[in-house]
């Protein structure tokens, strides 16, 4: 499969994603500059973490106007797979490719730690390769604005349609306030769009994809997308 990893001014996880996809998962990866107006022919677009444009105004609010985002939006609207990680998730929200918005963490401080994630939907293209006996993933977060919010109607639709993919939880899989690091509504850590081809998550799977990094749970998510895309060929 061929992936495009987009670099914005302030991205700092783009090369991590390129490395994990290319070296670890043997994928064909092309780096794309935010100022480009067209995407190469790819199967999936990845918007990485970082602090695009210094997170001025709101995280992702300037990056969503980068020229490449018109091409990303067109790609997504045609059914192409798009994954936004951390700042990439924020950009997808600002661009309207995913519902809801991000606020600053409830403690108003930057958080960098490993968290437990309950996998709520194992039938999505991003989670279908998570083992059946695995309910909780350990993946790190690193963000200032990860407090996901949406109106009641949107939250209801996300829950009813299986669009909530991950929730912050305890190591035992209990979803509660104590396990919520940023105040996110319903402990939401990752969602998809209604069509199931656009995904956003605050945790960083590229930082948990091989043993030398301390864990491999993040690899399940990349493997899921790869398997889904291969199955559609």
Catalytic residue among 94, 120, 145, 206: 206
Q: Is 171 a catalytic residue?
A: no
Two structure tokens written together for 104: 């600053």
Two structure tokens written together for 33: 């500059």
Dist. CA 154–CA 152, nearest whole Å: 5
Catalytic residue among 17, 44, 169, 204: 204
Q: Is 34 a catalytic residue?
A: no
DSSP-derived 3-state class of residue 31: strand
DSSP 131-190: -TT--EEEEEEEES--EEE--HHHHHHHHHTT-EEEEEE-TT----GGG-SS--GGGEEE
Dist. CA 178–CA 128, nearest whole Å: 28
Q: Is 204 a catalytic residue?
A: yes
Catalytic residue among 86, 94, 143, 169: 86
CB atoms within 10 A of CB 153: 9
Residues identified as active-site:
86, 204, 206
């Amino acid at each position: 499969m061929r992936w495009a990893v987009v670099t914005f001014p302030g991205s700092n996880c783009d090369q991590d994603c390129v490395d994990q996809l290319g070296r670890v998962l043997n994928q064909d990866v092309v780096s794309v500059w935010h100022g480009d107006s067209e995407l190469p022919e790819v199967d999936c677009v990845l918007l990485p973490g970082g602090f695009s444009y210094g997170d001025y105004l709101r995280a992702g609010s300037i990056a969503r106007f980068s020229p490449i985002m018109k091409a990303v939006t067109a790609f997504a609207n045609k059914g192409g797979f798009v994954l936004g990680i951390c700042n990439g998730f924020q950009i997808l929200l600002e661009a309207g490719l995913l519902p809801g918005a991000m606020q600053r963490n409830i403690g108003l401080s930057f958080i960098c730690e490993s968290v437990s994630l309950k996998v709520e939907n194992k039938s999505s293209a991003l989670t279908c390769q998570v083992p059946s006996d695995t309910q909780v993933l350990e993946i790190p977060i690193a963000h200032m604005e990860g407090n996901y919010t949406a109106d009641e109607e949107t939250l209801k639709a996300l829950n009813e349609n299986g669009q909530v993919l991950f929730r912050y939880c305890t190591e035992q899989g209990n979803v509660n306030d104590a396990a919520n690091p940023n105040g996110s509504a319903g402990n939401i850590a990752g969602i998809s769009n209604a069509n199931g081809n656009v995904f956003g998550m605050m945790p960083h799977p590229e930082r948990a994809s091989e043993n030398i990094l301390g864990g491999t749970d993040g690899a399940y998510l990349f493997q899921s997308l790869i398997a889904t895309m291969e199955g559609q060929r």
